[in-house]
Amino acid sequence: MLITRVFGKGIKGQEFDINLAEKNFIGGPNGAGKTTIIQAIGIAINGYMPGVKGKLPGPVMDTFGSGKTMIVGIECGDKTFERKFTRDAKGSVKQTYKVNDRTTKKDEFNAMVYGLPNIMDLGAFMDLSDQKKIDMVFDLFPPAGNVVEIDENILKLTKENNSLEADIRIKKATKAELVKSISSYPLPAGTLAEARECKAGIGEQWKTVSAEIKAEEKRISDVVAAKKLKEENEKARVEGEKQATLKLQQSQQPMQTQQTQQLDMSQEFPGKIICPDSTTPYEMIQSPDIKEPNAGIGQAERMQHMALHALKTVILAMENSGCDFCSAKLVAKKQMSDIRKAVL
C-alpha cells in the first residue's frame, strides 16, 4: 500500500500539501523543506520521527513545531490519517487523531496505521551508534503490537520504579537514624529487677497523685456549688425584700390618700382635727408634754419641733375621738418616733 499524499502545517514553519506518485524526487536548496516533508511522513505514521530524540508529544512539538499548533498527515489508499499537536497556555502538549476527518481514539488510530510504509533518514541513520541503529530498525519493523504504547508503558514504569527507589532510600535513611538514636539512648543504671521495682514505685506515686488531683477537683467543685447556692439565696433574699417593700408601699398608698383628704378638711376647718375613721371635725387639743422650741435653735430643728408638736396633737385628738387602734394613729406614732430620734 503506497502513500499517495502528505500534508503538514506549522511544522518547522512550513505548510504544504503534496500528492505523491509511486516514485518521487524531492529537490531544492537548503532550507527549502525537503527534510521537513520526510519528517512529516514519519511523524504522521509513528507519532515521532525515528532516529530523533523524543517520542512523546511534548519533545516532538519542541523539536518540530513552530507555533502553538502542528498538523501532519498522510493519505494511504482510501484513508487519510492526521495527527494534531496542540500546546496550551501552561505549556502542556496534547495530541489528537483523525481518520478521514473523523476524530478517533488513540488506540484505534495506531491500529490502523500499523503496517503502513515507514520512512527513515539514511544520513541520520548512518550517524547513529550501533545500538541506536538497532533501535531504529526495530522501530521501523516492529513485532506485532503497538510499539508506541509499549514505549509509553516502559516510560511510565521507569518513573514508578524511580519513585519506589527514592522511597526506599528515604526509608533506609530513616531506619539508620532510628538505629543511631536507639544506640545512643542512655540505659538506666541497675538490674532489670531494680528497674521493675522503680517502675512499680512510680506507679504507686502516680496513683497517689491521681487521687490527690481528684480530691482537689471535688473540693473545687464543692466550693463552686456552695458559692452558687449562696448567690441564689442572696438573690432570693433581695427579691423578697423588694417584694415586701413594694407591698408596704401599696398598703400605705390608701393611707396617704386618706391623709390628704384629712388635710383638706383641716384647712376647711381651721383649729380642728379630723379623725381618720370619721369625717367629723373635732377641736384641736394642745399636747402638754411638748414645749415650744427655744428661739436660739436653727430653722431645721424648729421645723422638726413643729412637726413633732403637730403629730402629738393629732394623736391626742384621735384618742379623744375614740380612734385607739386605727391605722392613721399608728402611722402618726411611727412618724413621731422617727422625728424624736432625729431631734435627739
CA gap 75, 100 in Å, rounded: 9
Residue 260 pLDDT greater than 80, yes or no: no
pLDDT value of residue 215: 86
Q: What is the mean pLDDT of residues 220-229?
A: 87
Is residue 240 scored above 70 in pLDDT? yes
Asked if pLDDT for residue 284 goes beyond 60, the answer is: no
pLDDT value at position 281?
Answer: 47
What is residue 77's predicted lDDT score, i.e. its pLDDT?
85
CA 187 – CA 192 distance, rounded (Å): 11
Question: Which of 33-37, 131-135, 319-323 has the highest average model confidence (pLDDT)?
Answer: 33-37
Does 274 score more than 50 pLDDT?
A: no
Is 0.75 surpassed by the pTM of this model? no
Percent of the chain with pLDDT over 70: 68
Bridge-partner residues for 95, per DSSP? 85
Measure Cα distances from 287 to 15, 308, 316 in Å.
137, 10, 7
- Tens-place pLDDT, residues 58-114: 999 999 998 899 999 999 988 999 999 999 999 999 999 999 999 999 888 988 887
pLDDT at 280: 46
Average pLDDT over residues 216-244: 85
Q: Where are the beta strands (DSSP E) in 58-200?
A: 69-76, 79-87, 93-99, 102-104
135 conformational bin, left if phi > 0, alpha if psi -120 to 50, beta if neither: alpha
Residue 340: pLDDT above 90?
A: no
The yes/no answer on whether domain 3-145 falls in CATH 2.160.20 is no
Higher pLDDT, 333 or 166: 166
Domain ranges of the chain: 3-145, 146-185, 269-343
* Antiparallel, parallel or unpaired: β 93-99 and 79-87: antiparallel
Of 289, 263, 288, the closest CA to residue 276 belongs to: 263
Angle subtended at Cα 232 by Cα 231 and Cα 235, rounded to the nearest 5 degrees: 85
β-sheet bridge partners, residue 98: 82, 103
| Res 203 pLDDT > 90 | no
Sheet holding 3-11, edge to edge: 14-19, 3-11, 69-76, 79-87, 93-99, 102-104
The pLDDT of residue 242 is above 90: no
* Angle, CA of 70, 99 and 74, to the nearest 5°: 60
Contact 43, 7 (CB under 8 A): no
Q: Which three cell numbers, joined as nine digits, stand for 37?
A: 516533508
Q: How far apart are CA 207 and CA 185, in angstroms?
A: 28
